[in-house]
């Protein structure tokens, strides 16, 4: 492990580890569960939890803790100053209405994609995704589009640190296979991932460009039984590309395509 710089405050890192322990799948946690998730002792986890509760970021409920609305303050300023989601909103709504599916806008944050805008499907049954949701980039169509836009040194650095997991039986099994898929997304200008993140779910994404720089990815989430893979290139990809082009234009670019490494 690289040595931390002299200014690094370990307790700040650990406080964020504690906050990140709370997820949509684990919204209420005990001290022991937080200690395990944050890789710290039970005594240390308890001190962090009680301090964060005193500051208003957590709420104690018997033996459990949960996030409060104040925890949203951490990301609210970032989202408030991010123009792109607001610009993309009407285009995502139009696309969701046209395709009758959930549409999203994502950015790359380290090894993950993060949803910065999302319009749920007009149908009652739809994929549940919210702003702030993050997934490993390698397992998503958005991630492969965004990774394909990285410079070669940055992409190589990503490969040196990424850890693949078998999320489903369809997940990519090796870095060589992942590299092939990223190269494919880069060359054709769009990506499709079928059931690698979740069974029964297919994602399709295209880049949003400002000039020659990729700034985000537009995605549509499809249920596999509703949208045969062979039809998607003709029926979905052109509509995604049109929406991405309009978002890029509104964001101040010419949406002319991927930046090459």
Clarify whether residues 16 and 109 are in a common domain.
no
In a domain, 260, yes or no: no
In a domain, 42, yes or no: yes
pLDDT of residue 228: 67
| CATH code for the domain in which residue 52 is found | 1.10.10.10
Clarify whether residues 68 and 88 are in a common domain.
no
- pLDDT, tens only, 112-128: 999 999 988 766 444 56
In a domain, 33, yes or no: yes
Domain that holds residue 141: 82-250
In a domain, 35, yes or no: yes
pLDDT of residue 200: 78
Clarify whether residues 93 and 43 are in a common domain.
no
Instruction: List the one residue out of 221, 192, 113 whose CA is nearest residue 158.
Output: 113
Clarify whether residues 105 and 154 are in a common domain.
yes
Number of Cβ within 10 Å of residue 185's Cβ equals: 27
pLDDT of residue 261: 33
| CATH code for the domain in which residue 108 is found | 3.30.450.40
Clarify whether residues 64 and 88 are in a common domain.
no
Instruction: List the one residue out of 150, 128, 136, 155 whose CA is nearest residue 223.
Output: 128
CA distance 202 to 60: 38
Q: How many domains does the chain have?
A: 2
In a domain, 97, yes or no: yes
pLDDT of residue 81: 57
Q: How many residues does the chain have?
A: 261
In a domain, 4, yes or no: no
Contact of 173 with 124, CB cutoff 8 Å: no
pLDDT of residue 24: 83
pTM across the whole model: 0.68
The runs of H, that is alpha helices, within the chain are 10-20, 31-38, 42-54, 73-80, 83-99, 141-148, 152-161, 175-188, 229-235, 237-250
In a domain, 44, yes or no: yes
Clarify whether residues 233 and 140 are in a common domain.
yes
- pLDDT, tens only, 68-100: 988 877 776 666 556 888 889 999 999 998 988
In a domain, 146, yes or no: yes
Clarify whether residues 63 and 16 are in a common domain.
yes
pLDDT of residue 169: 82
Clarify whether residues 169 and 137 are in a common domain.
yes
Stretches where the chain sits below pLDDT 50 are 1, 124-126, 255-261
């Amino acid at each position: 492990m690289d040595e931390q710089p002299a200014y690094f405050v370990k307790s700040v890192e650990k406080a964020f580890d504690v906050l990140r322990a709370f997820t949509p799948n684990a919204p209420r946690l005990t001290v022991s569960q937080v200690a395990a998730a944050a890789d710290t002792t039970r005594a240390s986890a308890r001190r962090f939890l009680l301090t964060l509760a005193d500051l208003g970021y957590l709420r104690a409920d018997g033996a459990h803790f949960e996030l409060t609305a104040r925890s949203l303050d951490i990301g609210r300023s970032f989202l408030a100053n991010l123009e792109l989601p607001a610009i993309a909103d009407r285009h995502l709504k139009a696309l969701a209405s046209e395709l009758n599916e959930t549409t999203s806008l994502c950015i790359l944050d380290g090894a993950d994609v993060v949803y910065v805008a999302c319009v749920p499907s007009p149908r009652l049954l739809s994929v549940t995704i919210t702003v702030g949701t993050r997934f490993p980039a390698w397992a998503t169509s958005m991630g492969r589009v965004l990774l394909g836009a990285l410079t070669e040194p940055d992409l190589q650095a990503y490969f040196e640190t990424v850890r693949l997991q078998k999320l489903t039986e369809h997940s990519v099994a090796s870095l060589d296979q992942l590299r092939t898929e990223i190269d494919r997304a880069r060359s054709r200008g769009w990506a499709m991932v079928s059931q690698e993140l979740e069974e029964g779910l297919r994602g399709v994404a295209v880049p949003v460009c400002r000039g020659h720089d990729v700034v985000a990815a537009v995605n549509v989430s499809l249920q596999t039984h509703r949208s045969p893979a062979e039809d998607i290139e003709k029926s979905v990809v052109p509509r995604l590309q049109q929406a991405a082009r309009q978002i890029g234009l509104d964001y101040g670019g010419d949406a002319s395509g991927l930046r090459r490494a």
